Amino acid sequence: MLQQWLVLLIVAVAVAYTGRRLWRSVEASRKKKSGGGCGPDCGCGE
C-alpha cells in the first residue's frame, strides 16, 4: 500500500513538473524581447 502511494506521489510530481514546463512555454510565447521562452536547457543562456 505504501509503495502504491509512493509511486502515485512520484507520478503526481512528474505531472506537475511537466505541466509547469508547458505553462512556462505558453507564458514565454506571450512576452516580447528580453530573454525567457526557452527554459534553462536550450542553450540560450537563460
Partner 1 sequence: MTSLASSTSAVSSDLRVALIGNPNTGKSTLFNALTGLRQKVGNYAGVTVERVEGRYRRPAGGEVTLIDLPGTYSLTALSPDEEIALAVLLGQEEDVPRPDVVVVIADALHLERNLFLASQVIGLGLPTVMALNQFDAAEAAGIAIDVPALIAALGIAVIPTVATRGDGLDALRRAIDQARSFPPADLRLPLGEPITAALAPLVAKLEASGLEAPAAHMQALRLLAVPSPEPHLRSVPGVPEAVETARAAVAAAGRDPYRLEAEVRYAWIDEVVRGAVARERPAGRTMSDRLDGVLLHRVWGPVVFLTLLGLVFQAVFAWATPLMDGIESAVSAVGTWVSGAMPDGLLRGLLVEGVIGGAASVLVFLPQIAILFLLLGILEDSGYMARAALLMDRLMRAVGLPGRSVIPLISGYACAVPAIMSTRTIADPKDRLATILVLPLTSCSARLPVYTLLIGAFVPATLVGGVFDLRGVTLFSMYAIGTVMALVMAWVFRRTLLKGPVRPLILELPPYRLPRVRNLLLTVWHRVRLFLQRAGTVILALSVVLWALATWPRTAVSPELPPAAAAEAQLEGSALGHVGKALEPLVRPLGFDWKIGVSIAASFAAREVFVTTMGTIYGVSDPDAESGSLREALISARDPDTGTPAYGALTAVGLMVFYVFALMCMSTVAITVRETGGGMVGAKWAAIQFAYMLVLAWVAAYVVRVVGLANGWGV
Residue 1 binds to partner 1 (criterion: CB under 8 A): no
Residue 26 binds to partner 1 (criterion: CB under 8 A): yes
Residue 39 is placed in which grid cell?
527554459
Residue 31 binds to partner 1 (criterion: CB under 8 A): yes
Smallest separation, CB 5 to partner 1 (Å): 10
Alpha carbons 24 and 4: distance in angstroms, whole number: 30
Cβ-based neighbour number of residue 37 at 10 Å:
15
Cα dihedral 13, 18, 20, 21 sign = positive
Q: Please give the residue ranges that form the binding site for partner 1 (CB under 8 A).
A: 3-4, 6-7, 10-11, 13-15, 17-18, 21-22, 25-26, 28-46
